[in-house]
Structure formats: C-alpha cells, structure tokens
Amino acid sequence: DQQVKQNSPSLSVQEGRISILNCDYTNSMFDYFLWYKKYPAEGPTFLISISSIKDKNEDGRFTVFLNKSAKHLSLHIVPSQPGDSAVYFCAASPYGANSKLTFGKGITLSVRP
C-alpha cells in the first residue's frame, strides 16, 4: 500500500511558467513533508520542507502548500527554468528527529525553453 502518492508520472511546462507538482498521502501519522530533486545516477537533493503546523512554506522560486485535511501537498515552482528539469520526489515522515522517510514514486518535470 503506497502511503505517499505522486499520481502524475510526468509534467511538461514552458520556461517562465509555473510548475505545480502534486502529492497525496494516506498516513495520518505523517507530520513532516519534504520535496527532493533528483538527477539520474545521483542522490536526491533537498529542496524544501513543511511541517504540519504550517500550510505554506516559501523559499525563493519554490513554495510548498499543505492541505492537511485533504492529505495533499503541492510544490510550486515559479518561474520555471530549464535547469529545473529533473525528477521530483515527495517524502513524508512522522515528526521527530531521525524519522525515516517514505517516498512517492516521483514526477519527471521537463521545462521547455
């Protein structure tokens, strides 16, 4: 049973436009959510996170929104750049240090010049 779901396997957007990457989760114990960016044959790179006490966290071009009642979060990238093309993983964990992460399957984002 997949506890973190990224239902769209891919997304293609025009440079300069907004990219919206969605993620849903089923485990009510998840309290902390992260987005990672990954290139082929490399480890994931941390992008942005949000805890359940917030509904929005912003860092430069990246904003994560959390709707806890819907068990849904999204990553907004604006403006999108060709260098943003990568696989984006949503991950979740129960609150607390050293908590293990549960990952979604990832979304491949392509930003067209």
Partner 1 sequence: GAVVSQHPSWVICKSGTSVKIECRSLDFQATTMFWYRQFPKQSLMLMATSNEGSKATYEQGVEKDKFLINHASLTLSTLTVTSAHPEDSSFYICSAPRLRRGTNNEQFFGPGTRLTVL
Q: Which residues form the interface with partner 1 (CB under 8 A)?
A: 31-32, 34, 36, 41-46, 49, 51, 89, 93, 95-106
- What phi, psi does 29 have (nearest 5°)? -80, -15
Q: How far is the CB of 17 from partner 1 (least distance, A)?
A: 25
Closest C-alpha to 48, from 73, 68, 70, 29: 73
Which lies closer to partner 1 via its Cβ, residue 69 or residue 98?
Answer: 98
Q: How far is the CB of 92 from partner 1 (least distance, A)?
A: 11
Which lies closer to partner 1 via its Cβ, residue 17 or residue 56?
Answer: 56
Closest C-alpha to 10, from 93, 91, 112, 96: 112
| Distance between CA atoms of residues 35 and 74, nearest Å | 9
Quick one: tokens of 92? 């979740």
Q: How far is the CB of 13 from partner 1 (least distance, A)?
A: 20
Which lies closer to partner 1 via its Cβ, residue 41 or residue 70?
Answer: 41
